[in-house]
Homo-oligomer: A and B are copies of this chain.
Amino acid sequence: MDILSRLKAITPHVLTGADTLPYGRDWVGKYETAPLAVVRPRTTGEVSAILALCHETETPVVPMGGNTGLTGATAAEGALVLSLDRMQTIREIRPEARIAVVEAGVILQDLHDTAEDHGLTYPMSFGARGSARIGGTLATNAGGSNVLRYGNTRDLCLGVEVVLADGRVLDLMSELHKDNSGYDLRDLMIGSEGTLGVITAAVLKLYPAPKAHATAMVTTTGLSAALRLLNALQTRTGGMVEAFEYMPRGYMNNLARFRADLTPPLGHDQDHTIFLEIGSTMLRDCTPDDTGQIPLVAHLEETLAALFEEGLVLDAALAQSEAQRNLMWEIREAAAEISTAEKPVVINDLCLPLDRLEAFMDQAETRLRALDPGFKTCPVAHLGDGNIHYTVYPSTPELADPLMEEVEEIVREMGGSFSAEHGIGIAKLSSMERRKNPVALEMMRAVKAAFDPKGILNPGKTLP
């Protein structure tokens, strides 16, 4: 019996030929592949049977969630796509224990909505939340816009269920906040991009949903002042900062060119603009006073005024309405659009030690200018995480590689990472090879061999 017939004996949900096309194309449109077939199991048992079959027949398998990744990690030329998109049950929400038990195929937005019904939030959020699936966020250890306050996916996950390469089920579906019974296999699986196992379910943390937000655009004298501002804000608000995003002049230039409809409250002509938001669950913050004002907003106003006195803030505009708040978010969320509107473009997803960001910006300017006097940039940063998307526009396409190389070299020298939140997939394989600690690479290969000795799981990804 051929493999397709054997797959169909496990589940009738097997796609071949033209039906596989949507699964062979990535979201960016960069990787076009022809999968062997697509299988869409409904249960962990079916996933287990499929992997046992692939293991026996040495068939390469590419696990796939919402297929919204940016690194080609789901490219599946000649491989079997194992789509989790039919495993989309939210098994449990336990409000008192503040956990959700979900299958890997649950769409992020669906979990947001369900948590909201309980006055809770699952704080992982990013642009693709309407189609990204939980399994994919776990496989890539996704970041997003609330990492500063709540951490990345790894921090939000208590337990996972994983099917191993040979079909064994590794049940780590713990709900526990403390568990020192052995090696941390959970965190090893999270972020392994489907190369060590297939995540089929997870236990996730929920948080009380903030009942009020205070949002502002602020200008500062530079990155160093911005970092001191962040620390001061965290101290004064008790860690309520949910977003702290940095948009320098290069960003404002592109905003003016490509989204002239979005006028920043403090204007485009600023060297260092910060967009920030704090959120509170506290009654004392969220209950309007006699004049109708939200105390949280007054609190931010006072805090910024004090920081203005200290010279950390040059100017500030607080959102006085939901419309003003939305405008500020739109200015930040226009990043993907305005940074890819120019070509040729080099996209970077860098992370740096927080107190080296300013030095990075200075060195990048100098050293890239030396290579290409006409280069331009449109940087934007999740500043609180040290995560900067340093988009570069070379004068000519031939300079793209040298400029990317130089950026990554500066990052390496400063103890940074060439991959902050998007992962490796195919797109960053060469960076992995050149820049990852060689002993770490050796041990990654040893771990890979231990979990997937036949190398059937997402071959050609993550590990160069």
CA distance A177 to B98 in the complex (A): 24
Judge if A182 is at the interface, Cβ distance under 8 Å: yes
Judge if A97 is at the interface, Cβ distance under 8 Å: yes
Encode A420-449 as 1/0 by CB contact (under 8 A) with B: 111110001001100111011111101101
**Chain A, range 389-420, C-beta contacts under 8 Å to B:** 415-420
Interface stretch (choices A109-117, A168-176, A314-322, A327-335): A168-176
A177 to chain B, nearest CB (A): 5
Interface stretch (choices A16-24, A264-272, A281-289, A369-377): A281-289
| Residues on the B chain within 8 Å of A187, using CB | 154, 184, 187-188
Interface stretch (choices A76-84, A189-197, A360-368): A189-197
Contact of A183 with B188 in the complex, beta carbons under 8 Å:
yes
Contact of A196 with B183 in the complex, beta carbons under 8 Å:
yes
> Do A179 and B228 form a contact, CB below 8 Å, given A155-B155, A172-B437?
no
CA distance A183 to B184 in the complex (A): 12
Contact of B168 with A439 in the complex, beta carbons under 8 Å:
yes
**Chain A, range 251-294, C-beta contacts under 8 Å to B:** 280-285
| Residues on the B chain within 8 Å of A436, using CB | 181-182
Most chain B CB within a 10 A radius of its CB, from A175, A236, A432: A175
Judge if A31 is at the interface, Cβ distance under 8 Å: no
CA distance A174 to B420 in the complex (A): 12
Which one, B175, B224, B437, contacts A353 given CB within 8 A? Answer: B175
Contact of B178 with A387 in the complex, beta carbons under 8 Å:
yes
Count residues of chain A with CB under 8 A from any CB of chain B. Answer: 94
| Residues on the B chain within 8 Å of A431, using CB | 181
Most chain B CB within a 10 A radius of its CB, from A240, A386, A441, A463: A386
Contact of A208 with B235 in the complex, beta carbons under 8 Å:
yes
Q: Which residue of B lies closest to A417 (CB)?
A: B179
| Residues on the B chain within 8 Å of A238, using CB | 238-240, 280-282, 285
Contact of B420 with A185 in the complex, beta carbons under 8 Å:
no
| Residues on the B chain within 8 Å of A175, using CB | 353-354, 415
| Residues on the B chain within 8 Å of A143, using CB | 178, 180
A401 to chain B, nearest CB (A): 19
Which one, B177, B280, B385, contacts A178 given CB within 8 A? Answer: B385
Q: Which residue of B lies closest to A234 (CB)?
A: B208
| Residues on the B chain within 8 Å of A385, using CB | 177-178
Which one, B171, B191, B354, B387, contacts A183 given CB within 8 A? Answer: B191
| Residues on the B chain within 8 Å of A168, using CB | 439, 442
A354 to chain B, nearest CB (A): 5
Chain A interfacial positions (CB closer than 8 Å to B): 94, 96-99, 140-141, 143, 147, 152, 154-155, 164, 168-185, 187-188, 190-192, 196, 208, 224, 227-228, 231, 234-240, 280-285, 299, 351-355, 382, 385-387, 415-424, 428, 431-432, 435-437, 439-444, 446-447, 449-451, 462-463
Contacts A97-B355, A181-B418 given; 6 further ones with Cβ under 8 A?
A: A143-B180, A176-B415, A177-B354, A178-B417, A237-B282, A238-B280
For the complex of A and B, 8 pairs with smallest distance between CB atoms: A446-B450, A187-B187, A97-B355, A178-B420, A175-B353, A179-B417, A181-B419, A208-B235
Can you list 27 A-B pairs, Cβ within 8 angstroms, ordered by A? A96-B228, A140-B180, A168-B439, A168-B442, A174-B415, A174-B417, A176-B351, A176-B415, A177-B385, A177-B386, A178-B417, A178-B420, A180-B417, A180-B421, A180-B423, A181-B418, A181-B436, A182-B462, A183-B447, A184-B188, A184-B190, A185-B443, A185-B447, A235-B282, A236-B282, A238-B240, A239-B239
